[in-house]
C-alpha cells in the first residue's frame, strides 16, 4: 500500500463501546498491516498500543483523529481513561495500571466472551478490560480468562507480521512449537470457539453484572456514589470468597445457589488474597449484590454469615464490636453502620451506646470530649420524668430497685454515644455531678433491666443524645447545678403563709419548710437532692409522698417561686422542658408514654384513691410511674396527708355554726375593721383561738393591723451593737442584759427578730465571750467556739498533732476513747468548714488552713489562761 499522508484510504468505524486495541487491531487487519505498521503510517512511530489503550496522549489522539476521522471524545471513550479512579487506577506519571480503587489488581488482562467475538468478527468492548467484568449480559455466559489451548491470558487484538490473519484469535507465543523451528509462532486458537459457562437470566450473576454496568456508566456527578457502592461490593465479595474456605458449612442457601450457578467449584485463593479471575469476580459480586440490596429472602442471613466469615479470618479471641466494625471502615460509613447494627446483640450496653448500634442509625464514634461536655450542659443529673416513664419497666415492685439511681444512670449513659473511648461511664458521671458510679450503673443493668432486653434503652438514649447535639435544649442544666443549692434558694415565707390561709393548709414548722425547699430545688435543677443537713429520718419518705399528694395550688405556688428564682439570677429559660417524642423512633417502650394516659381520667382516678399503690394497680403501672406523671402534669391526689399539711383549723360542729354568726365574713370584717376589736376579743366571742380568727381574716382577704410593739424602743440597743458584743466578742446574753438594764427575754427576742444565732445557756458553757481579744476571731473560730464547750474543744484539738495516729492521741489525751475523739475532731472540722488534721501523715500534722486555725486557737487559750489567773 502506498500512502502519502492525510486520511487513511480505508475507513473503519468503531463498534459501540469497543476497546481501542480491538479497533486498531481490526483496522490493521483491514489494511493488511500490523499494529506497529499502522501506527508508523499515521505518524506515531514508537507508540505502544498497550499504553494508548490505557490513556491517549494529546498527540496520539490528534494523529488518530486526522488519520481516521474519529472524534477525540470517541477515541478517549475507547480507552480506560474514563474509568480512572472508579474501576481502574492509572499511574499518574506512567500509562500503566496499578491496583484499582475496589477489587484486586488484574493488570492489563482482557477477559472475553466467545459468542461476542464470533458475532463481531473478533472485536470486543473496552468493558472486558475492567476487573468488574465477569459476565456477558448479551449472551448470558461467564467471561473467559484464558485461551483454551495455551491456558494463558490471550492477546486477541494484536495484528502480527507472522499472523494470524484475523482478530479474535490468541496471539500469544506457542510454547509447544519445535525447538528447531525458526521464528516465533502464535498460539492461533480461535477464541470464538472456546467453551463457556451459561448463566441463567434470572439467576444471581447476571443481575449483579447489569447493576455494575449501570454504576460504571453513570455521569460525573454520580461517580462518588458509584465508587462508594463498588467499595461496598468489594468489601463484601472478598469476605464471601474467603469465607467459603472457612465457614462454608454455616452459609445460607443463597451461597450454595450462587456457587452452583458459577460451576460448583470453590473460588481459588492466591496467597493471602482472593483470585482475580472471572469466576471469583462473578461469585463474590453476585453474593455481595444480594447482601447489599434488600429483596432476597437471605439478604440479612447472608450478611450475618459474612460477618462470621470475617471473624473467622481474625486470629486470637473474639474481637469487640468496635474492632470488628473498624475492619469495614475502608468501604465507607454505610457498611460500618450496618455491621454495627448486626453486631449490636453481641455488645455490652456501653458499646451499644457508644456506637449507637441499637438505634435506627448506628455510626462510628467521632465526637471529641469537648462535644460531650457541651452535651452534659443540656442534660439534667436525673433523666427527664417523661422519658423515665417510657424506659422504666412495669415491674411489680420498684420500691427497692433504686429508681433514683436508675434515672441518674440513664443521664450518665446519655453522654456515651459518639464519644471517645476514654470517656467511659465512670468518667462521664461527674460531668453531671453523679458520683455514685457503681450504684447508678448497677441500678440500670442489674436491677431494673436484669433479664430484660436492653435494646429499647440503648436505642432511646443513643437517639436522644444525637438529637441533643443537633437541636440543643432551652435549659442550661450545668448553670442551674452550679447556681441553685439548698442554701442558695429564695423562698417567700409570707406568700406561703397567705396561700396556706386561703386553702386551709397548715404552714408547719422547719420540717415542712425544708420539704418545700427540696421540691423547689427539684423543679429548678431537674433532680432529687439528698435531704438537707439535720433533716428527720422520715424526710426522704415525705419527699416521695409530697410528689404524689401536693395540691395543685401548692404546686402552682412552688412553680411561681421557682420562676422568681430564675428571674432573680437573670436566667431566661423555661422552668422545665423535655425532649419531644419525635426525637426517638422505632422503640417499643418497656414502660409507658405520658401521652398514652388521659389527664382527665388520671385526675378523676386520683380524686378517689387513697394511696399511690391503689392508683398504680388501677392503671397497671408502678408507683414510681404515678409519681413521675404527677411531677410532669401537676396532677395529684386530693386525699389529705401529714406530709403536706391538713386544714389549719379542725372546727367542731358547734364552731362551724358559729362561723355563720360572729365569724361570718361580713360580720368578721365589721368587728375587726370597723369596730377595731382585738383578735383575742373576737376569739372569746366566737369560742375559738386567736389563731383561728387570724387565719379566717387572711382567708377572707381582710388586711391585718400591725401589732403594737411589745418592747419599748431602746436607741442604745441596736443590731450592730448586739452583733458585735454577742456574736463577735462572744459575751453572754445575761451580762449584756445586766449592762443595758433590760431582761434576758428582751435581748433574746430582739436577737431572734434580727436573725442572730442564739447560743446555748448550758451551765458548762466555757466559750470566749468573757475574753478581751485584740482581734476579731476568724469565721472558722467563731463557728467552732459557738459550742458551750468551746475552750475544751480547742484544748483537745491543739494536742492532736504530733501523735502517730488518732488512736495514739486518744490513749494519750482522751482516756483512750478513740471513737469519741474521732467524732469530736469531725464535728470541729465540720463547723470550721475545712479539714484541720491530716490523717494520712505519720505523725499527724495540721493541713495548711488547719495550721492557721491551730495558731489562732493557741492564742485564744493563752488569753483565757491569763484571764482566769488574773487577780
Q: Facing residues of 274 across strands?
A: 269
Instruction: List residues bridging with 88 in a β-sheet.
Output: 84
Residues above pLDDT 70, as percent of the chain = 89
CA distance 170 to 190: 7
pLDDT at 651: 41
pLDDT computed for residue 647 by the predictor: 39
The pLDDT, as a whole number, for residue 653 is 37
CB 136 within 8 A of CB 120: no
The string over 308-339, giving b where at least 16 C-beta atoms fall within 10 Å of a residue's C-beta and e elsewhere, is ebbbeeeeeeebebbebbebbeebeeebbbbb
Confidence of residue 410 (pLDDT cuts 50, 70, 90): very high
| pLDDT the model gives residue 113 | 95
| Cis check: omega of the bond before 416, within 30 degrees of 0 | no
Given a cut of 50, is residue 185 above it in pLDDT? yes
**Mean pLDDT, residues 244-254:** 90
**Residue 614 burial (CB count, 10 A):** 17
Task: Specify the range with the lowest mean pLDDT, choosing from 522-531, 674-683, 848-857.
Answer: 674-683
With a cut of 90, say whether residue 172 has pLDDT above it.
Answer: no
**Cell numbers 501506527 correspond to what residue?**
39
Residue 43 CA neighbour count, 13 Å, CB half: 15
Contact between 290 and 302 under an 8 Å Cβ cutoff? The reply is yes
| Pairwise pLDDT comparison (475 vs 537), residue with the higher score | 475
Rounded mean pLDDT, 263-279? 78
Do residues 117 and 128 lie in contact, with contact meaning Cβ atoms separated by under 8 Å? no
Q: What is the pLDDT at residue 764?
A: 42
Does 497 have pLDDT greater than 90? no
For the chain, give percent helix, strand, coil, nearest 5. Answer: 50, 5, 45
CA–CA separation, 75 and 123 (whole Å)? 16
The residues, any chain, with a CB within 8 Å of residue 393's CB and separated by 6 or more, are 448, 449, 452, 590, 591
Q: What is the mean pLDDT of the chain?
A: 85
* pLDDT mean over 590-609: 88
Find cell 383575742 and name the residue: 680
Nearest Cα to Cα of residue 791 among 815, 805, 770: 770
Q: Which three cell numbers stand for residue 261?
A: 450457578
pLDDT of residue 646 exceeding 60: no
The C-alpha atoms of residue 811 and residue 284 are separated, in whole angstroms, by 83
Q: Which residues contact 301 (CB under 8 A, 6 or more apart)?
A: 252, 254
Mean pLDDT, residues 825-841 taken together: 89
Give the pLDDT score at 584: 95
pLDDT of residue 585: 94
CA distance 98 to 90: 6
How would residue 108 be classed by pLDDT, with cut points 50, 70 and 90? low
Spatial distance between the Cα atoms of 185 and 175, rounded to a whole number of angstroms? 9
Average pLDDT over every residue of 481-509: 82
Pairwise CA distance, residues 375 & 476, whole Å: 10
Mean pLDDT on 585-595: 93
446, 437, 447, 393: which is closest to 411 by C-alpha? 437
Q: Which three cell numbers stand for residue 42?
A: 499515521
Q: Which has more confidence, 197 or 182?
A: 197
pLDDT tens sequence across 550-562: 888 889 999 999 9
Q: Locate 452 and state its grid cell.
A: 430484660
DSSP annotation string for 388-443: HHHHS---S--TTS-HHHHHHHHHHHTT-TT--TTS-HHHHGGGGT---HHHHHHI
Q: Cell 422504666 belongs to which residue?
A: 392
Amino acid at each position: 500500500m502506498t500512502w502519502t499522508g492525510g486520511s487513511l484510504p480505508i475507513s473503519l468505524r468503531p463498534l459501540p463501546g469497543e476497546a481501542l486495541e480491538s479497533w486498531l487491531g481490526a483496522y490493521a487487519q483491514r489494511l493488511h498491516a500490523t499494529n506497529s505498521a499502522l501506527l508508523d503510517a499515521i505518524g506515531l512511530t514508537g507508540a505502544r498500543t498497550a499504553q494508548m489503550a490505557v490513556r491517549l496522549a494529546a498527540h496520539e489522539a490528534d494523529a488518530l483523529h486526522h488519520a481516521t476521522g474519529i472524534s477525540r471524545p470517541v477515541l478517549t471513550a475507547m480507552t480506560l481513561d474514563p474509568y480512572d479512579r472508579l474501576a481502574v487506577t492509572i499511574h499518574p506519571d506512567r500509562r500503566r495500571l496499578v491496583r484499582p480503587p475496589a477489587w484486586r489488581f488484574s493488570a492489563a488482562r482482557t477477559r472475553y466472551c466467545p459468542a461476542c467475538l464470533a458475532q463481531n468478527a473478533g472485536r470486543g468492548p473496552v468493558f472486558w478490560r475492567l476487573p468488574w467484568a465477569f459476565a456477558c449480559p448479551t449472551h448470558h455466559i461467564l467471561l473467559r480468562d484464558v485461551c483454551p489451548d495455551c491456558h494463558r491470558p490471550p492477546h486477541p487484538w494484536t495484528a502480527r507480521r507472522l499472523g494470524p490473519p484475523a482478530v479474535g484469535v490468541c496471539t500469544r507465543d506457542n510454547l509447544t512449537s519445535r525447538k528447531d523451528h525458526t521464528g516465533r509462532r502464535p498460539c492461533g486458537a480461535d477464541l470464538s470457539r472456546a467453551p463457556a459457562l451459561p448463566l441463567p437470566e434470572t439467576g444471581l450473576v447476571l443481575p449483579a453484572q447489569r447493576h455494575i454496568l449501570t454504576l460504571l456508566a453513570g455521569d460525573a456527578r454520580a461517580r462518588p456514589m458509584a465508587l462508594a457502592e463498588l467499595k461496598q461490593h468489594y468489601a463484601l465479595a472478598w469476605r464471601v470468597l474467603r469465607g467459603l474456605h472457612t465457614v462454608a458449612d454455616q452459609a445460607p442457601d443463597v451461597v450454595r445457589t450462587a456457587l452452583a450457578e458459577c460451576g460448583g467449584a470453590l473460588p481459588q485463593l492466591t496467597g493471602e488474597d482472593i483470585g482475580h479471575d472471572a469466576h471469583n469476580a462473578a461469585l463474590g459480586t453476585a453474593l455481595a449484590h444480594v447482601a447489599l440490596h434488600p429483596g432476597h429472602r437471605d439478604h440479612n442471613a447472608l450478611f450475618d454469615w459474612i460477618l462470621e466469615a470475617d471473624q473467622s479470618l481474625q486470629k486470637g479471641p473474639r474481637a469487640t464490636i468496635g474492632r470488628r466494625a473498624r475492619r469495614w471502615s475502608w468501604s465507607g460509613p454505610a457498611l460500618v453502620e450496618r455491621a454495627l447494627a448486626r453486631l449490636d446483640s453481641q455488645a455490652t450496653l456501653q458499646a451499644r451506646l457508644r456506637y449507637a448500634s441499637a438505634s435506627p442509625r448506628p455510626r462510628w464514634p467521632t465526637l471529641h470530649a469537648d462535644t460531650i461536655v457541651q452535651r452534659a450542659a443540656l442534660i439534667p443529673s436525673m433523666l427527664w420524668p417523661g422519658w423515665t416513664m417510657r424506659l422504666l419497666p412495669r415491674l411489680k415492685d420498684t420500691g427497692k430497685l433504686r429508681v433514683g439511681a436508675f434515672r441518674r444512670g440513664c443521664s450518665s449513659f446519655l453522654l456515651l454515644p459518639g464519644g471517645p473511648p476514654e470517656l467511659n461511664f465512670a468518667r462521664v458521671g461527674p460531668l453531671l455531678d453523679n458520683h455514685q458510679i457503681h450504684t447508678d450503673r448497677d441500678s440500670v443493668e442489674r436491677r431494673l433491666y436484669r433479664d430484660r432486653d436492653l435494646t429499647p434503652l440503648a436505642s432511646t438514649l443513643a437517639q436522644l443524645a444525637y438529637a441533643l447535639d443537633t437541636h440543643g435544649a432551652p435549659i442550661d442544666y450545668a448553670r442551674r447545678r452550679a447556681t441553685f443549692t439548698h442554701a442558695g434558694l429564695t423562698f417567700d415565707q409570707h406568700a406561703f403563709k397567705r396561700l396556706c390561709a386561703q386553702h386551709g393548709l397548715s404552714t408547719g414548722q422547719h420540717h415542712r419548710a425544708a420539704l418545700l425547699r427540696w421540691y423547689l430545688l427539684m423543679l429548678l435543677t431537674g433532680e432529687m437532692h439528698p435531704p438537707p443537713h439535720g433533716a428527720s429520718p422520715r424526710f426522704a419518705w415525705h419527699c416521695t409522698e409530697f410528689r404524689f399528694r401536693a395540691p395543685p395550688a401548692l404546686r402552682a405556688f412552688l412553680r411561681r417561686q421557682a420562676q422568681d428564682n430564675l428571674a432573680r439570677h437573670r436566667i431566661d429559660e423555661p422552668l422545665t422542658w423535655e425532649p419531644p417524642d419525635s426525637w426517638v423512633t422505632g422503640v417499643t417502650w418497656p414502660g409507658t408514654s405520658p401521652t398514652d394516659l388521659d389527664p382527665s381520667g388520671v385526675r378523676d382516678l386520683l380524686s378517689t384513691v387513697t394511696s399511690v399503690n391503689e392508683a398504680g394497680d388501677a392503671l397497671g403501672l408502678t408507683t414510681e410511674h404515678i409519681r413521675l406523671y404527677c411531677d410532669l402534669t401537676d396532677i395529684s391526689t386530693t386525699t389529705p396527708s401529714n406530709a403536706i399539711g391538713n386544714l389549719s383549723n379542725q372546727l367542731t360542729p358547734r364552731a362551724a355554726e358559729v362561723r355563720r354568726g360572729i365569724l361570718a365574713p361580713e360580720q368578721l370584717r365589721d368587728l375587726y375593721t370597723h369596730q377595731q376589736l382585738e383578735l383575742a376579743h373576737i376569739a372569746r366571742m366566737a369560742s375559738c383561738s386567736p389563731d383561728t380568727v387570724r387565719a379566717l381574716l387572711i382567708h377572707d382577704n381582710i388586711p391585718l393591723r400591725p401589732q403594737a410593739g411589745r418592747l419599748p424602743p431602746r436607741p442604745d440597743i441596736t443590731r450592730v451593737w448586739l452583733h458585735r458584743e454577742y456574736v463577735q466578742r462572744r459575751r453572754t446574753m445575761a451580762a449584756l442584759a445586766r449592762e443595758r438594764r433590760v431582761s434576758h427575754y428582751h435581748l433574746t427576742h430582739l436577737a431572734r427578730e434580727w436573725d442572730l444565732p442564739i447560743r446555748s445557756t448550758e451551765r458548762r458553757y466555757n466559750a470566749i465571750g468573757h475574753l478581751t481579744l485584740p482581734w476579731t476571731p476568724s469565721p472558722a473560730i467563731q463557728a467552732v467556739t459557738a459550742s458551750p464547750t468551746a475552750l475544751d474543744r480547742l484544748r483537745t484539738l491543739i494536742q492532736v498533732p504530733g501523735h502517730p495516729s488518732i488512736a495514739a492521741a486518744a490513749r494519750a489525751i482522751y482516756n483512750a476513747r478513740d471513737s469519741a475523739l474521732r467524732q469530736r475532731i469531725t464535728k470541729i472540722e465540720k463547723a470550721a468548714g475545712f479539714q484541720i488534721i491530716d490523717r494520712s501523715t505519720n505523725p499527724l500534722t495540721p493541713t495548711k488552713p488547719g495550721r492557721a486555725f491551730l495558731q489562732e486557737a493557741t492564742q485564744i487559750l493563752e488569753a483565757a489562761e491569763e484571764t482566769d489567773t488574773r487577780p
